[in-house]
Amino acid sequence: MSEGGRAVREDYRKFVPTREERETVYAGIGIEYRGILLRQNFESCLGFYEQAKKSLPGALRTRAQILADIRASASRDKKELISYYQAKGDADSVRVVKNYL
């Protein structure tokens, strides 16, 4: 294998998760997202998901759904999640996100 081909393959792996990673570490991320997700997108979504888990009150009735929606929409931040809910016409979830995240 040429040095150039090896470098391309290594660079590709830096940006694109393996199938195994998508099925384990990143499972459920982007299932409602249209487009290409790179490793950075997956990692940003996981970071926002963890932040939201800490920020959303445990007693919040819609907590589990909001956390699931963060993963499904591959949202990286509050702004992206609000845009996702606005596109769905879900004003209640927009209000909750604005108040708690």
Per the document, the length of the chain is 101
- What are the sequence ranges of the domains in the chain? 3-100
| 17 within 8 A of 27, measured Cβ to Cβ | no
- pLDDT digit string, tens, across residues 47-66: 999 999 999 999 999 999 99
The amino acid sitting at 8 is V
- Within a 13 Å sphere around the CA of 1, how many CA atoms are in the beta-carbon half? 8
Task: Please state the φ and ψ torsions of residue 87, each to the nearest 5 degrees.
Answer: -65, -30
Tell me, what's the pLDDT at 18? 92
pLDDT at site 5: 64
Contact between residue 67 and residue 53 where contact means Cβ atoms under 8 Å apart: yes
Q: What's the predicted TM-score (pTM) here?
A: 0.88
Spans in the chain with pLDDT lower than 70: 1, 4-9
Closest listed residue to residue 26, CA positions, set 40, 42, 44: 42
